[in-house]
Structure 1
Amino acid sequence: MRIYLPSTLPALATVLADGEVRGAPITAFAVTAELSAGAGGRDGEELEYEALRAAADASLALLAEDPQAPRRRVVLAADLPDKLISPCPDTLHPAAVTVAGAVPLKRIASAHIDDTDATDDITRAVAAPDAGHDDEHELLWYATQELKYLVE
Structure 2
Amino acid sequence: MRIYLPGTWPMLRRLVKTGKFDPIGGTAFALTPKLRESYVTGDDEELEYAAMSEAARASLRLLAVEFGLGEDQVPARRVVVAADLEDVKLRPDLDDGAVRITGPVPMSAIAAVHVDTEEAEHAVREAAGAVDKADLGDLDAEFLVGEAEDQELSWYSPEEVSFLVDLGDL
TM over 0.5: yes
In structure 2, what is the Cα distance between the partners aligned to 1:111 and 1:7? Answer: 10
Paired position in structure 2 for 1:15: 15
The residue that corresponds to 2:96 in the other structure is 94
1:143 to 148, 157, 165: 157
Aligned residue runs from structure 1 range 3-152, under 5 A? 3-22=3-22, 25-67=25-67, 68=71, 69-81=74-86, 84-91=87-94, 93-130=95-132, 131=134, 133-135=145-147, 136-152=150-166
Larger Rg: 2
Out of 63-72 and 15-24, give the one that drifted further: 15-24
Q: Normalised by the size of structure 2, how large is the TM-score?
A: 0.82
**What is the CA-CA distance between 1:24 and the residue it aligns to?**
7.1
Higher relative contact order (CA 8 A, sep 6+): 1
**Scaled by the length of structure 1, what TM-score is found?**
0.91
2:76 alignment partner AA:
R
Larger helix share, 1 or 2: 2
- Stretches of structure 2 lacking an aligned partner (at least 5 in a row): 136-144
Structure 1 vs Structure 2 CA RMSD:
1.5
Which structure is higher in strand share?
1
* Rounded Cα–Cα distance in structure 2 between residues aligned with 1:107 and 1:86: 17
Give unpaired runs (5+ residues) of structure 1: none
| Equivalent residue pairs, number | 149
Alpha-carbon distance between aligned partners in 1 of 2:8 and 2:24, rounded to the nearest angstrom: 17
